[in-house]
Amino acid sequence: MTGNTRRAFLKETAIASAAFLAPRLASGALGANDRVRVAMIGAGSRGQDLLKQVAGVPGTQVVAIADVYTRRFDEAKQIVPGIQTFDDYRRVLDLKDIDGVIVATPLHIHARHFVDTVAAGKDLYAEKTMTWSIPEAERCREAARKSDRVIQIGLQHQTGGPFADAKKWMSDGIVGKVTQVDSWMSRNTPHGQGQWVRQPPADCTAQNVGWTAFLNGRPDKGFDPYRFMNWRLFWMFSGGNVTENMIHQMAWIMGLLDLPLPAAAYMSGGVFSEKDGREVPDTIAITLDFPNDLIVTWQSTFSNRRYGLGQKILGSDGTIEYTAGATDMVSGESEEQIRYYPEKVNRPDGAAITGKSPTPSHMANWIDCMRNRKTPNAPVELGYRSAVAAHMANLSYRQKRRITLAEAKAFQPEF
């Protein structure tokens, strides 16, 4: 952020905050004009994006962050001057005057922070993927079911205009029976520079990092700044590109078609391009079988980005095509768009449609729901189903075989 943009941003935030100084209702519930007070656990790369997003929602105040890396305290203060900082997330959950908590820690700690936040009586914005494993996903869903907390999963495409357009076309009945969905996601980096790789800063030392809290029960082989920064590359912390990116697209497809859990998963691929010691594959082909006459495929590579990412919903009466990234065959220009194309054999008079709905803020949707106690756009049930689908795929890859839902649910992961 430049100095000017930052000043404008802070001014906006101050105005937004000042407008909402009404006292809380006696019940402790949020009134329509109350300020919503929010804290965060895990203020790294994504967390700092979310800090800016939430501070920009009118009527909110960001009060505190917890992080195990001291560097994050200064970074968070650059975004929200005066914010309280803690090195133990439990101190944030102890704060009586906060209404909600945003969790943006690495995947392998999501479940702990999810369950403890709900137990502390706070509303929750939980980054995707909801959990690192299927047993954890079950535990989080159970905790959510037993509480009345408003929980938004960080699957922001569920709030997107393209999702709203596609949902409308589905409910208008112009897509027909869908038996196949194809999806893909692709990236590339300059030679010698691996996708996702972060160089640890000089201050990333054992003194400045709460390594044991980061490990969250994983075996301790001594402080490792590379693994701390690059947790995405290792199975004990991550689910690789399946839980980093497929999850957004799979949740979108599952939400659009109201899909139950997959019946089975197949995944092939390997570490073919990023030979830098990582464990998670860079090249992936997944097929998920769903019980109601449907297969969904997802393919991904980290060494070619020509086709960006997309989803094709193939129906008997029409196709929904969502694309983003380098999709224009002539110019190679990157653009997000959603289109509907009729299947002329079944809808001879049908016309093509381009979706135009705007994309509102997913974060603002959570804050609204905290006020009106409605269910947010990316609820726990979708977080749960998409997480199970992702873990089934990874399990298939790691066991080199087809995995059924029953097998996946019975599997107890080890570190």
Ligand X SMILES: NC(=O)c1ccc[n+]([C@@H]2O[C@H](COP(=O)([O-])OP(=O)(O)OC[C@H]3O[C@@H](n4cnc5c(N)ncnc54)[C@H](O)[C@@H]3O)[C@@H](O)[C@H]2O)c1
Among 9, 16, 20, 46, binds ligand X (CB under 6 A): 46
Rule CB under 6 A: say whether 116 interacts with ligand X.
no
Verify binding: residue 108, ligand X, rule CB under 6 A: no
d(CA 88, CA 66): 6
- Stated as kind and residue range, the H or E segment containing 117 is helix 110-119
Pick the piece of the chain touching ligand X (CB under 6 A) from 44-52, 93-101, 320-328, 404-412. 44-52
Q: Is 105 in the site for ligand X (CB under 6 A)?
A: yes
Does residue 391 belong to the site contacting ligand X (CB under 6 A)?
Answer: no
Task: Please identify which residue in 244, 274, 282, 368 interacts with ligand X, judged by CB under 6 A.
Answer: 244
> Given the rule CB under 6 A, which of 22-30, 100-108, 383-391, 398-406 is the region that contacts ligand X?
100-108
When CB distances to ligand X are compared, the closest residue is 44
Work out whether 368 is an interface residue with ligand X (CB under 6 A). Answer: no
Q: Which two tokens stand for residue 8?
A: 């404008």
Nearest Cα to 147, choosing from 173, 189, 115?
A: 115
For ligand X, the binding residues in 152-191 under the rule CB under 6 A are 154, 156
# residues contacting ligand X (CB under 6 A): 25
Closest to ligand X by CB, 249 vs 301, is 249
Q: b/e for 336-373, b at 16 or more Cβ within 10 A?
A: bebbbbbbeeebeeeeebebeeeeeebbbbbbbbbbee
| Cα–Cα distance for residue pair 5/13, rounded to 1 Å | 12
Q: How many residues appear in the chain?
A: 415
Which residue from 213, 263, 285, 324 is in contact with ligand X, where contact means CB under 6 A? 213
> Cα(85)–Cα(275) distance, rounded to whole angstroms?
38
Minimum CB distance to ligand X, residue 375 (Å) = 19
**How far is the C-alpha of 300 from the C-alpha of 3, rounded, in Å?**
38
Q: Is residue 286 part of the contact set for ligand X (CB under 6 A)? A: no
42 is a site residue for ligand X (CB under 6 A): yes
Q: Check binding of 214 to ligand X (CB under 6 A).
A: yes
Cβ–Cβ < 8 Å for 132, 107: yes
Task: Note whether 41 binds ligand X by CB under 6 A.
Answer: yes
Site membership for ligand X, residue 47 (CB under 6 A): yes
For residue 127, state whether it binds ligand X (rule: CB under 6 A).
yes
In angstroms, how far is CA 82 from the centroid of its own chain?
28
Nearest to 361 by CA among 150, 169, 161: 161
| Using rule CB under 6 A, residue 342 touches ligand X | no
Q: Which of 390, 248, 267 is nearest to 322 (CA)?
A: 248
Which of 36, 40, 43, 286 is in the footprint of ligand X by CB under 6 A? 43
- Dihedral (C-alpha) 156, 404, 277, 131: value to the nearest 10 degrees? 40
Residue 245 or 301: the one with the smaller Cβ distance to ligand X is 245
Q: Is 339 in the site for ligand X (CB under 6 A)?
A: no
156: number of CA atoms within 13 Å, CB side? 12
Q: Please name which of 230, 198, 228 lies closest in space to residue 210, comparing C-alpha atoms.
A: 228
User: Out of 38, 107, 137, 242, which residue is the one contacting ligand X (CB under 6 A)?
Assistant: 107
Give the residue with the Cβ less far from ligand X, 55 or 170. 55
User: In this chain, which of 35, 37, 122, 128 binds ligand X, going by CB under 6 A?
Assistant: 128
Q: Are 279 and 234 in contact (CB under 8 A)?
A: yes
Which position has the token pair 């969502």?
322
> If binding is defined by CB under 6 A, does position 34 make contact with ligand X?
no
Nearer to ligand X, 44 or 318 (CB): 44
- Do residues 408 and 388 touch, judged by C-beta distance below 8 A? yes
Specify the residue, 214 or 384, whose C-beta has the smaller distance to ligand X. 214
Residues 6+ apart with CB under 8 A from 240: 232, 233, 279, 280, 281, 394
Distance, CA of 197 to CA of 375 (rounded, Å): 36
Contact status: 66 vs ligand X (CB under 6 A): yes
Torsion of CA 172, 175, 177, 183, to 10 degrees: -130
Asked whether position 377 contacts ligand X by CB under 6 A, the answer is: no
Q: Min. distance of Cβ 388 from ligand X in angstroms?
A: 17
The contact set with ligand X (CB under 6 A) reads: 41-47, 66-69, 72, 89, 104-107, 109, 127-128, 154, 156, 213-214, 244
